Structure 1
Amino acid sequence: MDVLMSLLGLAGGLGLFIFGIQLCSEGLQKAAAHRIRQLIKTLTNKPLLGVLLGTILTFALQGSNAVSAMVVGFVSANLMTLSQALGVFLGSAIGTSITTQLISFKTTGLALAFLFIGMILYMFSKRSKIRSIGQTVLGFGLLLYGMFVMSSAMTPVKDYPIVVQTLINLEHYPILEFLVALIVTTIIQSSPAFLALMMSLAAHQLISPYAIIPFVLGAHLGGTVTGVISSIGTPGYDAKRAAIANFIFKLLTGLVCLPFYKPLTSLMLLSSNDLNRQIANVHTLFSVLMVLGFLPFTAPIAQVMERLLPSKKVDLGEAVYLDQSLLEIPELAVNQASLQTLEMARILNEEMLARTVLVLKYGNEEVMDRIDEVEPAIDQLYRKISRYLTSLGNNRLSDDLMQRSIEILYVANDLEHIGDIMSNIVKHARKAQIEESVFSAEGLAELELMFGEVHDRFNLALKAFANHDEGSAMRVIKEHPRILRLEKELRFNHFDRMQGGNQKTITTSAEHLDLIENFLRIDGHAVNIAQVVVGIV
């Protein structure tokens, strides 16, 4: 019965520890996500600064997984090179070591203080930022208290010689220890949590000092497996390269150090008399050795990864920016949705709108077929962006992020409607082709004129959305009446030519007027996009 209760206590303490990590990470992201993004942009110019950044972020966010997701997002967005990302990954190992060092001390009183302070801030503050800070403090308190629960749960186990001897004898099977640590860390998705589990055993002398290094190396590697698995389903190749490179760093460190675990253990024993401190110290040692060994070679390693995993042409409907692993970081997920919306706009612009004149002038069959191929891809991208943003969940978003996600949905929806309009324009062009009707020279010139105006305004609206340029957005909005007047003028000119007996104008009247109407609708959607930028939604 005591053993069962110990196992339940161990599981409960581990649950508190992992939940504390999650609360701490989410709270900090809500409180300072924008500043974190700015920090990433400014501290990655030099490899050493990248290591420092990885260290700070991993300790602050209480997990290398969150940092990995954030960094991969910046690589995908071309805000950071793969080489810079590798430096940050190396630093994240040291950040995990700082957490390990902290939990190696007896901090029960500190845990209770954090829980009380965090509860006060979270429960009684009306300001969202203060509540987020409270959530962070509360999470840190749970983390430390979970450590205490695990350690306390192991107290009765030392009275069972068979269990104690089995655990102690593991020191003779370093490869088994390495694999156990690798598998357990992969399952619980947290190397600090596994190390905390080790410390709870070490506090009661339930593991041998010679078991520590294989366990630590296995946990070191296990913390990267989740990133590799999650990157498999992502369309972006940089995500795969970064995750695999991080895995290789830890794997090579393990392969180099594991054969020398006995002399390394002798060195570890000199660092402290406390077994928990020894665990923390050896984890720090491996992290520092990994940085020293790989940091000078991040650039060539990045080049090798790019050769091993070359980018391939992706389908137009492939959502290259919507990495599911980034949903754990709402600030970055919303940013990725914005980037995907801009990519959707680029495809719409280059593959559809830019080809409109060719359709009007020549009825080019190949161009019309291409536009028909692209339209379903635009619909597909809109659905993927919508699902991605709605999967974030309203309760996890700050008011600012909620507003941004709604704005992105507005813009993506307008782009999808423009795709439908372009498909409609192709239908009119095909109809004119079948009926062998040709626009008059004057009518064609007017259609080109109006489309040129609308296309320029659409590009300006997109630029305003991409750069959050309210000045450009207001230009689009204020000049819309001019487009309305142009539409009326061109419609009048068309009827005037009909009255004059222009046979081509008479034959193509329905198609001509429908095209003008479609161009006006495109301009209306450009205005909608501009209104999003200035906050009129």
Structure 2
Amino acid sequence: MPVIEVLETIMLLLGGLGAFLAGMEIMSESMSRLAHGELRRMLNKTAGNRFAGVGIGAAVTMIIQSSSATTVMVVGLVNAGILTLFQATAIIMGANIGTTITAWIASLGSLDVSVFLLLFAVVGVFMKMLSKRENIKLIGDTLTGIGLVFVGLSVMSSAMDPDLHPEMMGVIKEALEVVKNPFLLLLIGVVATGIIQSSSAVTSIVVVLATSGVLIGGTGDGVYYVVIGSNIGTCVTALLSSIGAQPNARRAAIIHLLFNCFGAVIFTIFLLCWGWFGTSFQDTVLNVIFPENYQFQIAFFHTLFNVTCTILFLPFAKGFVWLANNLLRSKKGEASPEEELIAHPDERLLRNPSVGLAYLYQETGKVFAFSMDTLDKAFNAFLAKDTSVSQSINERNGEIAQMSRQEVAYLVKLSANSLVMEEEKTISSLHYVLNDIVRIGELADNVTKYTGHYVNDGLHFSSEFLEMLKEMYAKIQKLYGLSREAFEKKDFLKLREVDALEDEIDNERRRLVQAHIQRLNEGKCQPQNSSVFINLVGNLERAADHITYIAHSIEQNQ
């Protein structure tokens, strides 16, 4: 066999695979950006409905064209405490169904229509070059990705064409068809997928080989063991991504592995038992549905495997959660993501900016709550004349500053992605929000200093003044509740209530200061009280301003 023919075949095969994977990546990226907010909203709708979870997992995977990416995203969301293990289980099952679309796309490469699909790449490039509208450019990218997928399939098919490379294909066919052992074929699927990190790519290669007349494992059901193995191999990505994550995130990756392994065991036994009756599942069933069309038979089997496994295992979703919890038991004193103030910004979510941004938005709300709780503690300490909390408030401020720096660093990483305008505006607004949160913490620190003067200088404030101060702070707490609701739900109607209450607080500050000046003039108040009094009231009013700014940050996202 000429060396040049071997090199040409290898180069064509690798080049075709590269074009295929590049097309999948471009298509995934552009479709994700087109559906930017929808991915987040879909994942938020899972609640406790396992059927909704399956549908959402399938839909998200069809959009981003990668079950591995969906599972890694789910691991990240579980790590952040956004999804429960039960919700994650249903989404993972759905992701396995969603990934089957790639095999169907690959099987189209054998049809005459694939020639026209190649033109999508050219059409997509021109759409991106000539249009100024963001959505049209993204549609152009999607078409370019589809075109590249079929370019890759076409090139791989050329590499495997027995008419162009008869000797090479003869050797490949003999080598691949001689492997008959089902467990060895399973292992081939596992290893190949583990290396390429894409079950879609492995299944597509199997389809391309079938198009060229090469069936791994020869005639019969041999090729389907490879497909089953690829479903186990795809778990490697999620397992690797869960290293160093919260226990629940690692459990989500384990559930993915258990689901695919149990499915593989059932279908392997099923195919082996079918073969004992003297015929293969392919000849008896698949060849009847798609006569002599191996590409569609493989795509159909891939879909059948994942849909059947989901139907079988979905009723036992809680059982998978129980099993994962027992395989990876919680250590004593271990905090869940929900119990923690804030998880470290999860790098797994950077792949999909809209989901990563939604996660960070939620975490920012937690830091906002922590900052407000710090102000509450400082104010209550003032009323109680308690100077012992000063160190605690100072430490809390350090935590707030540290969390703010982590989130800013995460925002910078998110900004490096290709973003739509809405995401860019949200990132910009979050920078300002984090600054406001830090300022609230700093104002709480100021309040503890005034408490020190209050106690150490032997100052006295009347019960009337303290009651007025409590009334003002009660309004600040109510303002916080309205602002956080407006911020988290992006409720623009709440802004009117926020502004009205903030005006009341401003008026309250002026009323308090004027009343204090009047008491000074009447000799009812000591002059040395003025510094603490006016600064305390002023700092509380400024805290209300920052709380209001956070509510109004949602306007920057329009």
TM-score > 0.5 by shorter chain: yes
In structure 2, what is the equivalent of residue 253 of structure 1? Answer: 263
CA contact (8 A) 2:378 2:445 kept: no
| 1:21 pairs with 2:27 | no
Change (3 A) 1:413 1:69: farther
Per-residue Cα deviation, 1:276-303 (whole angstroms, up to 9, x for no partner): 3443233223213312320221133334
| 1:301 pairs with 2:301 | no
Separation in 2, partners of 1:263, 1:170? 19
After TM superposition, the structure 1 = structure 2 runs for residues 449-488 of structure 1, keeping only pairs within 5 Å, are 449-488=471-510
| 1:381 pairs with 2:392 | no
In structure 2, what is the equivalent of residue 364 of structure 1? Answer: 386
Separation in 1, partners of 2:338, 2:61? 35
Separation in 1, partners of 2:268, 2:414? 41
Q: Which moved more, 1:211-220 or 1:398-407?
A: 211-220
After TM superposition, the structure 1 = structure 2 runs for residues 284-433 of structure 1, keeping only pairs within 5 Å, are 284-305=303-324, 308=328, 310=330, 312-313=335-336, 319-320=342-343, 322-350=345-373, 352-365=374-387, 367-393=389-415, 396-433=418-455
In structure 2, what is the equivalent of residue 444 of structure 1? Answer: 466
Separation in 2, partners of 1:9, 1:115? 19
Q: Residue 239 of structure 2 aligns to which amino acid in structure 1? A: V
Q: What is the deviation of 1:506?
A: 3.8
Change (3 A) 1:215 1:536: closer
Separation in 2, partners of 1:469, 1:55? 30
| 1:115 pairs with 2:121 | yes
Separation in 1, partners of 2:549, 2:47? 37
Change (3 A) 1:87 1:518: same
CA contact (8 A) 1:58 1:64 kept: yes
In structure 2, what is the equivalent of residue 189 of structure 1? Answer: 197
Separation in 1, partners of 2:557, 2:23? 40
Does the residue aligned with 2:406 lie in a helix, a strand or coil?
A: helix
| 1:230 pairs with 2:230 | no
Q: What is the deviation of 1:347?
A: 1.9
Change (3 A) 1:45 1:221: same
Q: Which moved more, 1:442-451 or 1:156-165?
A: 156-165
In structure 2, what is the equivalent of residue 267 of structure 1? Answer: 281
Change (3 A) 1:376 1:317: farther
| 1:137 pairs with 2:106 | no
Change (3 A) 1:315 1:437: farther
CA contact (8 A) 2:479 2:501 kept: no
Q: Residue 195 of structure 1 aligns to which amino acid in structure 2? A: T
Separation in 2, partners of 1:139, 1:179? 31
CA contact (8 A) 2:375 2:443 kept: no
Separation in 2, partners of 1:47, 1:452? 42
Does the residue aligned with 1:171 lie in a helix, a strand or coil?
A: coil
Separation in 2, partners of 1:528, 1:512? 25
| 1:67 pairs with 2:70 | yes
Separation in 1, partners of 2:140, 2:156? 24
* Aligned partner (choices 201, 212, 217) of residue 208 of structure 1: 217
Per-residue Cα deviation, 1:94-116 (whole angstroms, up to 9, x for no partner): 22223213312315414313223
Q: What is the deviation of 1:90?
A: 1.9
Separation in 2, partners of 1:157, 1:233? 48
Q: Residue 232 of structure 1 aligns to which amino acid in structure 2? A: I
- The percent of aligned pairs where both chains have the same amino acid is 28
Does the residue aligned with 1:120 lie in a helix, a strand or coil?
A: helix
* Aligned partner (choices 31, 36, 43) of residue 33 of structure 1: 36
Separation in 2, partners of 1:412, 1:18? 39
Q: Which runs of 5+ in 1 are unaligned?
A: none
Separation in 1, partners of 2:167, 2:271? 29
Change (3 A) 1:498 1:324: same
Q: What is the deviation of 1:323?
A: 3.0
CA contact (8 A) 1:317 1:378 kept: no
Does the residue aligned with 1:104 lie in a helix, a strand or coil?
A: helix
Separation in 1, partners of 2:176, 2:341? 50
Change (3 A) 1:476 1:52: closer
Separation in 2, partners of 1:482, 1:47? 47
Separation in 2, partners of 1:319, 1:195? 40
Separation in 2, partners of 1:142, 1:159? 28
CA contact (8 A) 1:268 1:282 kept: no
Q: Which runs of 5+ in 2 are unaligned?
A: none
Q: Residue 293 of structure 1 aligns to which amino acid in structure 2? A: L
Does the residue aligned with 1:241 lie in a helix, a strand or coil?
A: helix
Does the residue aligned with 1:232 lie in a helix, a strand or coil?
A: coil
Q: Residue 532 of structure 1 aligns to which amino acid in structure 2? A: S
* Aligned partner (choices 162, 180, 186) of residue 171 of structure 1: 180
Q: Residue 330 of structure 1 aligns to which amino acid in structure 2? A: P
Q: Which moved more, 1:240-249 or 1:477-486?
A: 477-486
* Aligned partner (choices 11, 19, 25) of residue 8 of structure 1: 11
CA contact (8 A) 1:348 1:419 kept: yes
Separation in 1, partners of 2:539, 2:417? 39
- TM-score, structure 1 normalization: 0.87
Higher helix proportion, which one?
1
Change (3 A) 1:218 1:37: same
Does the residue aligned with 1:142 lie in a helix, a strand or coil?
A: helix
**What RMSD over aligned residues (CA atoms) do the two structures have, in Å?**
3.3
Q: What is the deviation of 1:192?
A: 0.7
Q: What is the deviation of 1:432?
A: 4.0
Does the residue aligned with 1:378 lie in a helix, a strand or coil?
A: helix
CA contact (8 A) 2:160 2:209 kept: yes
Give the number of aligned pairs: 533
Per-residue Cα deviation, 1:191-246 (whole angstroms, up to 9, x for no partner): 111112233334252732365233222210122221232233444x5544333212
Q: What is the deviation of 1:525?
A: 0.7
Q: Residue 360 of structure 2 aligns to which amino acid in structure 1? A: A
In structure 1, what is the equivalent of residue 102 of structure 2? Answer: 99
In structure 1, what is the equivalent of residue 535 of structure 2? Answer: 514
- TM-score, structure 2 normalization: 0.84
Q: What is the deviation of 1:249?
A: 0.2
* Aligned partner (choices 119, 128, 132) of residue 134 of structure 2: 128
Separation in 2, partners of 1:207, 1:488? 83
Separation in 2, partners of 1:412, 1:67? 29
Separation in 2, partners of 1:61, 1:524? 41
After TM superposition, the structure 1 = structure 2 runs for residues 518-533 of structure 1, keeping only pairs within 5 Å, are 518-533=539-554
Change (3 A) 1:223 1:366: farther
CA contact (8 A) 1:158 1:164 kept: no
